């Protein structure tokens, strides 16, 4: 037990202190989450520019949350010169100019920009309607709750996050196991350990535990960052099933890493082989591009790849609102994969270079 803990601690420290491994397992996927999350986050229609001419109490006295709603569709500015504002509307620089005289709201719009003016008129109409109801002092009877069907799945961060978690875990586990095996063998540390009074199970077990730990750290950090307000990941009900999925996925890629480590002779060769396996797999598994928009053959291929099951499972429970049961089949397949590939890796395992 002491040997096991000690080896695990040594490996974990080694991981934390190695810039390359930290970069590829943490910062690289994180970078994608942030880039894709921010670049593609603003997919809504462009805001309409509306100028308020003089005092417009209907809008300036709106409660904060209502005002925030308005700011989402309008880019509001204020001015005093109606003539100049109307001229800007004519030129298309403004979608509308709004004036209030007593209880009447006057909107100047251009018939040339039909979409813009229709949006402005529709929004203002609904505001006036709500203001009228509010003025009667009785609560509104009907409310309209809007829900787009695609809402969740269309927002980039929603599919980028599970994809990057899947990819990050895959490279973390594959490289971690492969590099430990290769460098330890290369530096004769494996043989040194073979001469220490410890069991092989301690050596393998500590590597497995460290990989699982690293994967959980990745999961927490990736979800944590993606949930920051500027990225706005919204998790659905049984997202916690991502934890067992992550663990099963780690075991699967750990076995791939052990296999790579068993057959590769040098660290460079091992890194190349690990990339050669994980990178194309990421493209074919929906980690980088959503499977929904991928050609049919890719969707088929994803069904036989461990990363495909991992990413699909993660998406189902984290963002598609599926129940916990949706993760069971992917978990079972990932575990079966680990057993088979792990057994093959054991076959090829060598203590020594020669």
Partner 1 sequence: MADTIVVTDLVKSYESKNAVDGVTFSVADGEFFGILGPNGAGKTTTLEMIEGLREPDSGSVSLLGMSPWPRNSKLLPRIGVQLQASAFFEQLTAREQLHTFVDLYGQSMARVDELLEMVGLQDKAGTRAEKLSGGQAQRLSIACSLVNDPEVVFLDEPTAALDPQARRNLWDVLRDINDRGKTVVLTTHYMDEAESLCDRVAIMDNGKILQLGPPAVLVRGLDAPVRISVEQAVLDADSARGLPGADQVEQDGSSTIITTRTPSPVLSALAERDALDGLQVRGATLEDVFLDLTGREYRA
Binding site for partner 1 (CB under 8 A): 2-3, 5-7, 9-11, 13-14, 17-18, 183, 187-189, 191-198
User: Rounded to the nearest whole angstrom, what is the least distance from the CB of residue 268 to partner 1 in the complex?
Assistant: 16
Residue that is written with structure tokens 């787009």 in the block: 148
* Nearer to partner 1 (CB atom), residue 20 or residue 78: 20
* Nearer to partner 1 (CB atom), residue 3 or residue 105: 3
What does residue 51 show for φ and ψ, rounded to 5 degrees?
A: -105, 135
User: Rounded to the nearest whole angstrom, what is the least distance from the CB of residue 217 to partner 1 in the complex?
Assistant: 17
* Nearer to partner 1 (CB atom), residue 116 or residue 261: 261
* Nearer to partner 1 (CB atom), residue 5 or residue 46: 5
Helix 2-17 × helix 200-226 angle, to 10°: 40
User: Rounded to the nearest whole angstrom, what is the least distance from the CB of residue 23 to partner 1 in the complex?
Assistant: 14
What does residue 297 show for φ and ψ, rounded to 5 degrees?
A: -65, -35
For residue 37, give both structure tokens: 């999350």
Given a contact cutoff of 8 angstroms between Cβ atoms, the answer to whether 233 and 226 are in contact is: yes
Q: Are strands 74-79 and 96-101 parallel, antiparallel or unpaired?
A: unpaired
User: Rounded to the nearest whole angstrom, what is the least distance from the CB of residue 302 to partner 1 in the complex?
Assistant: 35
Q: How far apart are CA 143 and CA 125, in angstroms?
A: 15
Q: How far apart are CA 263 and CA 16, in angstroms?
A: 26
User: Rounded to the nearest whole angstrom, what is the least distance from the CB of residue 284 to partner 1 in the complex?
Assistant: 32
**Cβ neighbourhood burial of 269 (10 Å; 0-12, 13-18, 19+):** middle
For the beta carbon of residue 92, count every other beta carbon within 10 angstroms: 12
* Nearer to partner 1 (CB atom), residue 217 or residue 267: 267
Q: How far apart are CA 72 and CA 241, in angstroms?
A: 34
* Nearer to partner 1 (CB atom), residue 94 or residue 203: 203
User: Rounded to the nearest whole angstrom, what is the least distance from the CB of residue 299 to partner 1 in the complex?
Assistant: 40
């Amino acid at each position: 037990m002491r040997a096991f803990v000690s080896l695990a601690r040594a490996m974990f420290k080694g991981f934390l202190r190695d810039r390359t491994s930290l970069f590829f397992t943490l910062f690289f996927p994180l970078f994608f989450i942030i880039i894709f999350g921010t670049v593609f986050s603003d997919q809504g229609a462009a805001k309409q520019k509306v100028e308020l001419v003089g005092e417009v109490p209907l809008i300036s006295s709106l409660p904060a949350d209502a005002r925030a709603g308005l700011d989402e569709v309008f880019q509001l500015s204020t001015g005093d010169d109606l003539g100049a504002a109307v001229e800007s509307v004519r030129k298309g620089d403004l979608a509308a100019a709004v004036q209030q005289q007593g209880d009447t709201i006057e909107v100047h719009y251009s018939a040339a920009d039909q979409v813009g003016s229709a949006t402005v008129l529709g929004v203002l109409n609904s505001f006036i309607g709500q203001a009228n109801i509010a003025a009667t002092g009785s609560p509104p009877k009907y409310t309209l709750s809007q829900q787009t069907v695609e809402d969740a799945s269309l927002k980039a961060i929603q599919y980028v996050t599970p994809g990057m978690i899947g990819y990050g875990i895959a490279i973390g586990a594959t490289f971690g196991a492969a590099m430990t095996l290769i460098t330890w063998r290369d530096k004769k540390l494996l043989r040194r350990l073979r001469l220490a009074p410890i069991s092989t199970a301690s050596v393998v077990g500590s590597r497995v535990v460290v990989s699982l730990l690293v994967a959980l750290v990745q999961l927490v950090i990736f979800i944590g960052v993606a949930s920051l307000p500027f990225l706005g990941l919204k998790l659905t009900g049984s997202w916690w099933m991502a934890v067992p999925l992550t663990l099963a996925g780690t075991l699967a890629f750990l076995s791939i890493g052990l296999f790579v480590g068993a057959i590769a002779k040098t660290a460079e060769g091992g890194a190349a082989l690990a990339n050669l396996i994980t990178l194309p797999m990421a493209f074919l598994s929906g980690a980088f591009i959503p499977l929904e928009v991928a050609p049919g053959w890719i969707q088929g291929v994803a069904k036989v790849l461990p990363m495909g099951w991992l990413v699909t499972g993660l998406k189902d429970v984290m963002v598609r609102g599926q129940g916990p049961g949706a993760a069971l089949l992917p978990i079972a397949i990932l575990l079966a994969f680990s057993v088979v590939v792990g057994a093959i890796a054991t076959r090829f395992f060598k203590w020594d270079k020669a």
